[in-house]
Structure 1
Amino acid sequence: MSNHHAVECWLTDMDGVLVHEERAIPGAAEFLQALQETGRRFLVLTNNSIYTPRDLRARLQGSGIDIPEEAIWTSALATAQFLADQRAGGSAYVVGEAGLTTALHNVGYTMTERDPDYVVLGETRTYSFTAITRAIRLIEGGARFIATNPDVTGPSTEGPLPATGSIAALITAATGVKPYYVGKPNPLMMRSALNRIDAHSESTVMIGDRLDTDVRSGLEAGLRSILVLTGSTRPDQVDRYPFVPTRICDSIADVVPLVHELAPHPDDDVMGYGSHDEAV
């Protein structure tokens, strides 16, 4: 399949693409510099709902990557926008950190434990049994159940940690109610990101390290996708999926030339579909 649209905008995952355990992946800074030099609109996406964009910008700066906080789009922001669109000025009981509560406050939501419209579950490194119990009782009482993302584990230097999807499964087992997940792989997060930078799906590429979230959500939102092999998905796992990315690269460093090629030659088909061997 050939590409008839220039790549005007870029969406990229954060962990596993730009950074790994708070260290920049080689080529990440050069990739972001290339986007800024060529005037391409872009967003850095993350399912992590713990931190605010300001916090994440500071963490990236510590890795040697400098981008404006307006260029960071989190599952917490996407969740807040979704809830504001669904029920403006509503209320929520939140299990999560400042990234989520700040996003909800900023769209006019009230945090409450008394008859909330929603129970909103996000990621935290200190899940409280008391908070989870409260969430279960509120959902049983009629509160709608929303979760920022379905990731069951998160990375740490000591190994995987239970994440939002794991705690959501616990709550579902106790209540029989499944949450609505806003973050990847829900294409809703991709569409909200596209709207944020006034981008069109046919002229935007999604870069990620996971086929089951990044590539899948890009595919379902109508974007072309690049899988980098510096994160979760290993090369031997690619053929297990019923869908493939547009292109596979060893790392974000291999994407830098594409950005430069696209800038002066917007009509060239540099993102054409090919075999895995050709793409890697």
Structure 2
Amino acid sequence: MTVKDIDNIILDLDGTVYVDNKIINKSDIEIRRLAKKGKSIYYLTNNTSKNTKHYIRKLNNLNLPVSTNSIISPIHVMIDWIKKNNIKCVYILGVQELIDELKEKTGVANSSKNPELIIVAFDKELTYQKLETACELINNGVPYYLTHIDIFCPTLKGNMPDCGAIGMLIEKTTGKKSINNFGKPSDLMTDYINKIVDKDHNKIVVGDRIHTDIELGKKIGAETVLVCTGEYQNSKNDNLKINNTQIYNTLTDYLLTI
């Protein structure tokens, strides 16, 4: 298979397509070109501090081709999982727009009174009271899940704490590990992607993180490309070898080969 044969292009967002609201190296131009050529473009993010409507607005504002079906995040995996497991009540450490989307799409209640489980997300509205409530529930035996395992989120101001960091705080405090997570590269995310991305056509995953983007790509049988614009920095990882993964300085550098 050559790069010209790729039909499904699955792109990480933060640190790959953009940082904050700044497009990296004119990647938008190449993404639009490939969409016009009939390539299926998917945006795969672990970021749960924003909901699906936010991403549609943001990508539209950045002049990127986008639809509801082209965005994949742990939120969509959670919606699918909550419905499948008939979950009625959870306690969520997350922003209000995440809570609202889960309620709208699944009917699940967000309450600290007898929740079936706790969901720990990338909560930019986090308070000590939320943490205290979650830890009390966990100490009393309520299981918890992370939306994703990323320790930090890249921003123009530098790296900022993400869901994985919040999860580490809770684990250190309670002595209890999360049951699972809904993001890259979990089996829950893998199963979800395999349901919505055409299995009969070639696909590639492009991202800046080895332990999430590249591992996820390998688990779904995709070609993988690592870019040096986010967590992975080529100059800092000269001795690191990633088997069967191409490395490019930027997403644009890779997309120009298709």
* TM-score exceeds 0.5: yes
Q: What is residue 90 of structure 1 aligned with on the other side?
A: 88
Normalising by the residue count of structure 1, what TM-score does the alignment of the two structures yield? Answer: 0.82
Question: Does residue 160 of the first structure (1) align with residue 159 of the second (2)?
Answer: yes
Cα contact 1:89–1:108 (8 A) shared by 2 = no
Normalising by the residue count of structure 2, what TM-score does the alignment of the two structures yield? Answer: 0.88
The DSSP-based 3-state class of the residue aligned with 1:181 is coil
Q: Residue deviations 1:65-87, cap 9 Å, x none?
A: 342233111122223323333x2
Unaligned 5+ segments in structure 2 are: none
Counting matched residue pairs gives 256
Cα distance change on mapping 1:9 and 1:158 into 2, 3 Å: closer
Q: What is residue 56 of structure 2 aligned with on the other side?
A: 57
Hey, what's the Cα distance between the residues in 2 that align with 1:117 and 1:130?
20
Cα contact 1:123–1:163 (8 A) shared by 2 = yes
For 1:181, the aligned partner's letter is N
For 1:183, the aligned partner's letter is G
Cα distance change on mapping 1:76 and 1:203 into 2, 3 Å: same
Cα distance change on mapping 1:83 and 1:144 into 2, 3 Å: farther
Q: What is residue 251 of structure 2 aligned with on the other side?
A: 252
Cα contact 2:51–2:98 (8 A) shared by 1 = yes
Hey, what's the Cα distance between the residues in 1 that align with 2:39 and 2:211?
26
Question: Does residue 195 of the first structure (1) align with residue 182 of the second (2)?
Answer: no
Hey, what's the Cα distance between the residues in 1 that align with 2:62 and 2:35?
18
Shift of 1:50: 1.2
Q: Residue deviations 1:49-103, cap 9 Å, x none?
A: 0111211122233333342233111122223323333x22431100001443134
Hey, what's the Cα distance between the residues in 2 that align with 1:255 and 1:96?
35
Hey, what's the Cα distance between the residues in 2 that align with 1:33 and 1:156?
24
The DSSP-based 3-state class of the residue aligned with 2:122 is coil
Q: What is residue 28 of structure 2 aligned with on the other side?
A: 29
Larger mean CA deviation between 136-145 and 2-11 belongs to 2-11
Shift of 1:241: 4.4
Q: Which runs of 4+ in 1 moved over 4 A?
A: 2-5, 237-242
The DSSP-based 3-state class of the residue aligned with 1:255 is helix
Unaligned 5+ segments in structure 1 are: 260-280
Matches within 5 A, 1:1-280: 6-85=5-84, 87-105=85-103, 106-179=105-178, 180-197=180-197, 199-200=198-199, 203-238=202-237, 240-241=239-240, 243-259=242-258
Hey, what's the Cα distance between the residues in 2 that align with 1:112 and 1:121?
13
CA RMSD between the two structures: 2.4
- Fraction of identical pairs, as percent: 21
For 1:81, the aligned partner's letter is D
Hey, what's the Cα distance between the residues in 1 that align with 2:228 and 2:173?
37
Cα contact 2:14–2:153 (8 A) shared by 1 = no
Hey, what's the Cα distance between the residues in 1 that align with 2:173 and 2:24?
40
For 2:192, the aligned partner's letter is S
Q: Residue deviations 1:115-144, cap 9 Å, x none?
A: 111100001223111001101111222222
For 1:172, the aligned partner's letter is E
Cα contact 2:35–2:65 (8 A) shared by 1 = no
Hey, what's the Cα distance between the residues in 2 that align with 1:220 and 1:239?
25
Hey, what's the Cα distance between the residues in 1 that align with 2:232 and 2:8?
24
Shift of 1:237: 4.4
The DSSP-based 3-state class of the residue aligned with 2:129 is helix
The DSSP-based 3-state class of the residue aligned with 1:67 is coil
For 2:193, the aligned partner's letter is A
Shift of 1:226: 0.8
Shift of 1:5: 11
